[in-house]
Structure 1
């Protein structure tokens, strides 16, 4: 009989399988504890893939190792095996239970994993049974005390993970937030008293009296540290304390709860009185970090009293087990040397990882916020503990670096024909990677650059020289290879079609001349040979539809044209001030909903005079679906952006800076929204519509247009935009082409021309209008994105849209606030 696997390989596997799988399980634990905290700081696919594969393999390897040990315990010893190896392997089973407990920094890879908490309960039971079976099979065993200690530690770790999954499952998460039932005033008792007084013919009336805390809400909500307009900035600790306070308030956003007037006023009062928008950014980034920790890690469980006690017990029993094992005499004689080394490795790495987890636990934002509280009196002396926490949090302070914008140019000044420089500086976020709380950058994707396969210069670049040159080195071959493959594939198709036409002509010619050829060559070619390319295409179409190959390749190709723009302080200040301004109009449910649902029309109607030109621009928003409007305004923004040499800008330095900043804000948000629409469908699922179809149709029309203008090989966005704007687009494209194609290319051209005309007619800076319209489009997407999609994105580096979503909630600009006049109590008044 032929052996598929050679005997010597089987022997090696039988001897080393348990040891190998044990080391694999330990390695996966080390990978998870080192790399899982990094996934909320970067969206890099390689890191996400590493964490995802390790997360899946960790449970598999531990379960597999337990099965191998259980099987090994029932086998007879081989002659060359030391007599007590099985007894030492019995110690490894509870270690695997410890591994199944997982690191503190990752209990769930995705939100769906939290719903599997009941499966983990069963896993705990059966793994415990398997561990007990292994120990019983090894009795009598001199290591039983050590085994029991490790078993206790492993069981506690597994229970911590199960409790974290249970509390983070959306149903239980919602139940933990919902307050106790409030039956309200005793209506029956009140009416009985009213009836009795009426029967006694006493003059009595029922009046409603507002509760005292509602009457004086504004006074009570005002925090002393925010009261003075000349106050100093919030301390690092106060930032974390406010973040924790608002996390407990707004975590109900995840499960779509409705918030009260009081909760809105508390948040609004704080955010309106912040010293700077940067403080809001710091509060929100910590708040989003708390949300991530609550749903993807053990942190929330460990910061409870029972969680802290369980962690002390788990770590203590593991350390005690190691000490007892280390002091056990004659280990090298009783057990196999390799097994002793493996056991020491399990203890050493386990204790080291436990120590790292404790350090991360002690020095986390949670610890600083939970173990301190906001002071009612700002003059109250600061304790030593608070000073330490404040210093600890200062290490993760946002770091900004002033940088010139890379897109430099010359424009005409309004004072004459001379040209002036448009070089300006912005503060870019440069917090070091291991000190970040989120990725700190904005991914952007430009339609016209992608259509022309053109390289787009970054507006800002916070990367070091090594990262810049490394990215160029990595991306250049892929970009060239993609371009070459497209050209070669197109050339091959043309050659095949040409050869087919030539052969068909020759076969037809021979068939007309020679009857033999008509009965042999003609059917052979047309019935068999000519159908081979069609058969290959059919097979490809079947495989493509089943495995979604084209979409995958298309997505990979698009990612080559995505680059990161660092967050700038000025961009955040602009978004913050826009929402702060709009919050003043959101004092009732109707206005708040109207503002949060605006897609640009609110800005256009507020900033432009009432006339036909204003309504012409408003129609580009109200008469189109969101995804159609988004693509149209994106292309129009790029068309305007590339024509900056024709712009006329103000003479004053301040107005010039404002003009240039608005231009850059429009460009960045526009490209960011296109990135979300095309490459982040989960975040835009509620508003995307047929965005991908519109994108493809518009891309197809652009390719056809560039080919007709003979500029298909010119990889220049500037040339492409000039040619698009040169087309006469006075007539609506739908009235010419119909609605079969979903392309918006020349609708965008009309919009760009209307914006330029508006600027000339009304002397309004179109970039100020565009930047505000883009903020509205961003806010509309943020408040219409499903809350679970926002939370999922936190595990992939977070996005600007997540910050805008939470900032809108803080300003009360969502439809989840029940804004009413507050509570009141009924009272019987007896007249004299």
Structure 2
């Protein structure tokens, strides 16, 4: 029996010390690992970060319980046990420091922000452990200092979660109440003047008119787009973030804001426009998933200085303290905790100093020589580090791909597929063998930007904006000659059907056509990337397409079934390849519409897409120009109609091209959230003499 008691005590000691060391290790991992998740879409990194994020809090909570239990036991024992209890009380604030977490992550997903109330409960546990150690504790000095540092870090995290919660976020963005002119008083005065037969009238004093889009277009054509340096990119991105962060909660904006933003982005190159967008989205990410909204202000800097000083002074006090009565390995663990705390503080401080937030904050003092010098130094420091994209890129620049025909060619044998289907692993294995990524390229960015710029110049009032936001290929076809036969494939079908039609038709044309000139080759490649990307969103990210896809999933399954049936019954000379399958599909006679033969029970669009591909073949010179511009419209339509909340969710998963396009369409005036026609216009009562 005594052996079990000794083993239990030994386990308690090793258990607690192990938890303390593991907790410190997880904090070190998180401070470096968390920023990578906004720059990489690799599932392994996301899974590793998620595991560390969850386990870190669990271990800290568990260690708190062990310390509390050990203190009660030690308080009734000998002096050696009492010394151990003092050390445990000193360890408790380190756990509070760990629960405060690194600056690089407060929430793993947006839903974590809504749990800020739970984090308040942990303060009670930490306070209780601290209270137990107040009497006759020889480490009371460093313990109090560490508790101050841990308390600041923990409050920072809780406050950041509160600010990032969607229950609080809208309140922080709403402008002050504006009742407008005093209507009752104005009308009383107006009526009294009329009754006294005094000529009077009410006149609105409007805002100054902005430069018209036509004048701006002429100005841009004459001067040409200007290039931004890194400092200007951060400055402009922060300004637009401050203006448009209400996008996340569907706030509305004025046409004056739209005109100012359009003027800026229309005068940019596509590279600079995307650089500003990427940086702006990083500010969005920081507000929702990190402590940036708390620490990057004057009060945040002050409290961070207090926290760092508390930890350093606590280290100094413990170092000079008489450590008689403490076990050697306990002293080593304590030094490891202190060194770890100081190291983490200085790593966080270096990240804080080199962040975009600091550069934007110092921009207020740019007119002073010292401010300008510091900004230039920080910008150069960041630019030199750009050779390591996994640590300094602003998003993954990866575009996921999914191809319908390819997925059917790679299907598993039936004898394997059926058992996997019963244990819900079929989709998992399909993702492993068919999932792929393409890198974001300048050619793709230029195509998207050029088409959206043209669409931007075609809008003016709110009605034209609504019309352009609703187009999904029609505008691109209507501005081309002899494209009337293609209009039915975008305007007479729903979005999900249109997407599948153009996806299959693009694949058929892609595998049939030979590469010709550089322009057609580039458009062909970008069309293929956008086609596979949009199908990936509809099938693998349905939350991003839920408002536009309709019955897309059903139609996709029926089309896959018909494609599989065609592959199973069709005779192929040699092995089945993408080229041979596409060629076989194109030779099927399609004089009669599939619906007239099969009815509408099956929602498959396989051979309707073949008809579209044959129609596209009639445009030998302009085919890929037409296809690419239709895909940009389909992409923009999905981006505009995707909920902002879903866009925000993607920021912590390496980013999504669709999210960049969403913000770009807003800045080019292609958004339904521009609804305030007049700004600060005011009414005046004019009395004629």
TM over 0.5: yes
Is the alpha carbon distance of 1:690 and 1:198 closer, same or farther for their aligned partners in structure 2, counting shifts above 3 Å? closer
The equivalent of 1:831 in structure 2 is: 688
- 2:253 is aligned, of 248, 251, 259, to 259
SS in 2 for 1:828: strand
Question: 5+ residue gaps in structure 2?
Answer: none
TM-superposed CA distance for 1:171, in Å, is: 2.5
The equivalent of 1:161 in structure 2 is: 157
1:320 aligned onto 2:313: yes
Matches within 5 A, 1:300-699: 300-329=293-322, 331=323, 333-373=324-364, 383-395=372-384, 432-453=389-410, 483=412, 486=413, 489=416, 544=422, 549-550=423-424, 552-609=425-482, 614-645=483-514, 656-699=517-560
Q: Is the 8 A contact 1:599 1:777 kept in 2?
A: yes
SS in 1 for 2:223: coil
Q: Is the 8 A contact 2:92 2:126 kept in 1?
A: no
Q: Is the 8 A contact 1:236 1:393 kept in 2?
A: no
| Alpha-carbon distance in 2 for matches of 1:732, 1:300 | 58
Is the alpha carbon distance of 1:393 and 1:592 closer, same or farther for their aligned partners in structure 2, counting shifts above 3 Å? farther
The equivalent of 1:809 in structure 2 is: 666
Is the alpha carbon distance of 1:389 and 1:27 closer, same or farther for their aligned partners in structure 2, counting shifts above 3 Å? closer
TM-superposed CA distance for 1:130, in Å, is: 2.6
TM-superposed CA distance for 1:595, in Å, is: 1.2
1:635-655 C-alpha deviation (Å, 9 max, x unpaired): 11000000113x8x5xxxxxx
1:769-794 C-alpha deviation (Å, 9 max, x unpaired): 00000001101111111111101101
Q: Which of structures 1 and 2 has the larger relative contact order (alpha carbons within 8 angstroms, sep 6+)? A: 2
- 2:656 is aligned, of 772, 794, 799, to 799
Question: 5+ residue gaps in structure 1?
Answer: 400-430, 454-481, 494-536, 650-655
SS in 1 for 2:542: coil
- 1:189 is aligned, of 175, 178, 185, to 185
The equivalent of 2:144 in structure 1 is: 148
SS in 2 for 1:208: strand
| Alpha-carbon distance in 1 for matches of 2:379, 2:456 | 31
Alignment size in residue pairs: 685
| Alpha-carbon distance in 1 for matches of 2:103, 2:370 | 35
Is the alpha carbon distance of 1:216 and 1:605 closer, same or farther for their aligned partners in structure 2, counting shifts above 3 Å? closer
Q: Is the 8 A contact 1:285 1:803 kept in 2?
A: yes
- 1:750 is aligned, of 578, 595, 611, to 611
Q: Is the 8 A contact 2:145 2:313 kept in 1?
A: yes
| Alpha-carbon distance in 2 for matches of 1:623, 1:715 | 34
Root-mean-square deviation (CA, aligned residues, Å) is 2.9
TM-score by length of 2: 0.93
Is the alpha carbon distance of 1:561 and 1:669 closer, same or farther for their aligned partners in structure 2, counting shifts above 3 Å? same
The equivalent of 1:104 in structure 2 is: 103
| Alpha-carbon distance in 1 for matches of 2:665, 2:131 | 56
| Alpha-carbon distance in 2 for matches of 1:261, 1:251 | 16
- 2:624 is aligned, of 758, 763, 767, to 767
Q: Is the 8 A contact 2:40 2:396 kept in 1?
A: yes
1:339-364 C-alpha deviation (Å, 9 max, x unpaired): 11111111111111111111111100
Is the alpha carbon distance of 1:27 and 1:375 closer, same or farther for their aligned partners in structure 2, counting shifts above 3 Å? closer
TM-superposed CA distance for 1:606, in Å, is: 1.5
| Alpha-carbon distance in 1 for matches of 2:170, 2:589 | 56
| Alpha-carbon distance in 2 for matches of 1:446, 1:216 | 46
Is the alpha carbon distance of 1:8 and 1:738 closer, same or farther for their aligned partners in structure 2, counting shifts above 3 Å? farther
| Alpha-carbon distance in 2 for matches of 1:451, 1:288 | 36
| Alpha-carbon distance in 1 for matches of 2:366, 2:266 | 19
1:389-441 C-alpha deviation (Å, 9 max, x unpaired): 432343366x8xxxxxxxxxxxxxxxxxxxxxxxxxxxxxxx73222111012
Q: Is the 8 A contact 2:362 2:375 kept in 1?
A: no
| Alpha-carbon distance in 1 for matches of 2:211, 2:498 | 42
TM-superposed CA distance for 1:207, in Å, is: 2.0
- 2:229 is aligned, of 225, 235, 240, to 235
Q: Is the 8 A contact 1:703 1:712 kept in 2?
A: no
1:288 aligned onto 2:281: yes
The equivalent of 1:49 in structure 2 is: 47
| Alpha-carbon distance in 2 for matches of 1:233, 1:340 | 57
